[in-house]
């Protein structure tokens, strides 16, 4: 999911509780915080020597495991953080958005947004882990020519 679509989902679901669900069905709760939102500029070269450049948006979540508080998360709260950050850095609307999370039970991973489920009272951001891929094999032309992988 790109950054613009994620933000639009929050905007179209204002005044709803915001929930994040990990691939193992763990719903993140407790003293949860968005610690920062990052723009990552990626310059890479694949196994065939092809260069790639793209931007990612990373929303970093953190749970204060030492706290007994349970943070109230609503869509407006997340939008306020995006607004604060957006005054300092430019979001790239088409950049893929990742949610980075880790705690003492779950290793820190950059999750992709699989889908956003919405009902009358809650918005649930369902997360997934994308597998790695050989980029030349994703390109049909390279596959026909015999990609390196």
| pTM assigned to the model | 0.90
Mean pLDDT value across the chain: 93
For 10-59, the pLDDT digits (tens) are 999 999 999 999 999 999 989 999 999 999 999 999 999 999 999 999 99
8 Å CB contact between 54 and 69: no
Report d(CA 20, CA 83) in Å as an integer. 20
Enumerate the domain spans of the chain: 3-145
The per-residue pLDDT for range 59-109, each reduced to its tens digit, is 999 999 999 999 889 999 999 999 999 999 999 999 999 999 999 999 999
> C-alpha 118: how far from its chain's center?
17
pLDDT at 140: 65
């Amino acid at each position: 999911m790109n950054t613009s679509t994620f933000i639009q989902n929050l905007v179209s679901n204002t005044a709803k509780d915001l929930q994040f669900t990990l691939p193992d069905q763990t719903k993140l709760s407790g003293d949860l915080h968005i610690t920062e939102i990052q723009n990552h500029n990626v310059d890479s070269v694949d196994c065939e020597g092809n260069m790639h450049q793209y931007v990612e948006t990373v929303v970093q979540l953190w749970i204060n495991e030492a706290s007994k508080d349970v943070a109230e998360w609503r869509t407006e709260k997340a939008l306020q953080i995006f607004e604060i950050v957006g005054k300092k850095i430019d979001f790239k609307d088409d950049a893929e958005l990742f949610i980075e999370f880790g705690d003492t039970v779950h290793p820190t991973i950059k999750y992709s947004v699989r889908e956003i489920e919405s009902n009358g009272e809650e918005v649930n951001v369902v997360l997934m882990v994308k597998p790695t891929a050989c980029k030349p094999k994703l390109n049909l032309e390279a596959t026909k020519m015999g990609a390196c992988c």
